[in-house]
């Protein structure tokens, strides 16, 4: 009967040879299993894969908890060990497939504070002479309308319907191919209107260039049906959007990197907790926020209702630095 170290070495070779997993992934799986083998040999020096019991699995899970391992780390270890024992021939009675995982309480999505948002907006405003308002229109749309980054990249000019007093953003390629409409408040409309003047000039420039070379105007550059946001060489994609937002976060000297999804979270949080952003109006109903975000499951939207430490401090009368 082979010992656990031999079983582990065989498993590693088999994964490298036949699974196509990245070397780093194989190392994580094997590392999880190796730590278990070390622990088990402290209980039984001669133990083999056939000797591992459900009680061993439970005791190891408890041992990981006692040394302070995070729930996600413990659950990954349990998955690795289930795979290891499957490979060692325990598919019919695998003890690591019979024990419960550690419950992970999903945290509240990260939203930027009012002060940080104002710093980001100022950083975008400083770029207007150079980028003609692209960054400012982009971050204001993310923060005041809450589209996903992929939805922004897919926007066409007709999807931004703006008049003197109102505006609507039409999301045609939402998650699950669902279409929705989001009202555009003044804070989103004004920067977008300024950028659209430049966007029209871009269309005219592309048309002149196409005429010189006797070529058709690129479909994505045309007016009034092309893509809404353009980069230097074509439609602004998700990577370009993330780069712009990330650089604004750096310019604003935020403590942590800024992503487009952080601004989407800020949009949702401000709807449900307007006081935190200096807005004097009642919170929106959860169902309304669900519709605006395009969530299929209300439980996803409900994550935003969990009280953050800053919100709890504010409710208890402590300042939280948002004003």
At 322 the pLDDT is 39
With 90 as the cut, is the pLDDT of residue 180 above it?
Answer: yes
Query: Which architecture, in CATH terms, is 114-315?
Result: Orthogonal Bundle (1.10)
Query: Which architecture, in CATH terms, is 4-97?
Result: Orthogonal Bundle (1.10)
At 106 the pLDDT is 55
* Domain range list for the chain: 4-97, 114-315
The span from the first CA to the last CA of the chain, in angstroms, equals 68
Say if CB 138 and CB 300 are below 8 A apart: no
Taking residues 4-25, what's their average pLDDT? 86
Beta carbons within 10 angstroms of residue 291's beta carbon: 15
Instruction: Note whether 4-97 and 114-315 share their fold.
Output: no
Q: Is the pTM of this model over 0.75?
A: no
Average predicted confidence (pLDDT) for the chain = 88
* Phi/psi of residue 314, nearest 5 degrees: -65, -40
CA 219 → CA 203, 227, 241, distances in Å?
Answer: 10, 8, 20
With 90 as the cut, is the pLDDT of residue 123 above it?
Answer: yes
Q: What is the percent of the chain with per-residue pLDDT over 90, rounded to a whole number?
A: 58
At 105 the pLDDT is 57
CA 64 → CA 4, 70, 96, distances in Å?
Answer: 20, 9, 14
Catalytic residues: 148, 175, 261, 264, 295, 304
With 80 as the cut, is the pLDDT of residue 304 above it?
Answer: no
Least confident window among 157-161, 245-249, 276-280: 276-280
At 321 the pLDDT is 39
Taking residues 192-205, what's their average pLDDT? 94
Residue identified by tokens 């070390």 is 38
CA-wise closest residue to 54 among 86, 96, 84, 83 = 96
With 70 as the cut, is the pLDDT of residue 24 above it?
Answer: yes
Can you state the angle between helices 71-87 and 54-66, rounded to 10 degrees?
150
Give the CA dihedral 42, 45, 46, 52, nearest 10 degrees. 0
């Amino acid at each position: 009967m082979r010992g656990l170290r031999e079983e582990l070495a065989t498993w590693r070779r088999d994964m490298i040879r036949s699974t196509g997993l990245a070397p780093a992934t194989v190392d994580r799986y094997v590392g999880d299993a190796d730590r278990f083998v070390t622990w088990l040999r402290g209980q039984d020096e001669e133990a083999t894969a056939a000797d591992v019991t459900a009680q061993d699995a439970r005791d190891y899970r408890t041992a990981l908890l006692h040394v302070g391992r995070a729930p996600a780390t413990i659950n990954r270890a349990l998955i690795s060990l289930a795979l290891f024992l499957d490979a060692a021939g325990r598919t019919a009675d695998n003890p690591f497939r019979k024990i419960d995982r550690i419950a992970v309480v999903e945290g509240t999505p990260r939203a930027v504070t009012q002060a940080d948002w104002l710093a980001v907006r100022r950083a975008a405003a400083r770029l207007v002479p150079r980028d003609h308002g692209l960054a400012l229109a982009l971050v204001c749309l993310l923060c005041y309308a809450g589209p996903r980054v992929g939805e922004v990249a897919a926007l066409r000019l007709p999807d931004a319907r703006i008049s003197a007093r109102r505006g609507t953003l039409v999301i045609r390629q939402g998650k699950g191919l669902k279409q929705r409409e989001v009202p555009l408040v003044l804070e989103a409309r004004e920067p977008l209107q300024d950028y659209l003047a430049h966007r029209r000039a871009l269309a005219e420039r592309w048309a002149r260039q196409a005429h010189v070379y006797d070529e058709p105007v690129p479909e994505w550059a045309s007016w009034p049906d092309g893509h809404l946001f353009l980069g230097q060489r074509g439609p602004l994609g998700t990577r370009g959007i993330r780069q712009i937002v990330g650089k604004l976060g750096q310019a604003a000297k935020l403590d942590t990197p800024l992503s487009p999804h952080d601004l989407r979270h800020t949009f949702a949080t401000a709807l449900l907790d307007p006081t935190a952003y200096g807005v004097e109006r009642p919170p929106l109903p959860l169902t309304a926020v669900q519709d605006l975000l395009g969530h299929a499951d209300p439980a996803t939207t409900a994550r935003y209702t969990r009280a953050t430490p800053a919100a709890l401090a504010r409710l208890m009368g402590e300042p939280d630095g948002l004003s």
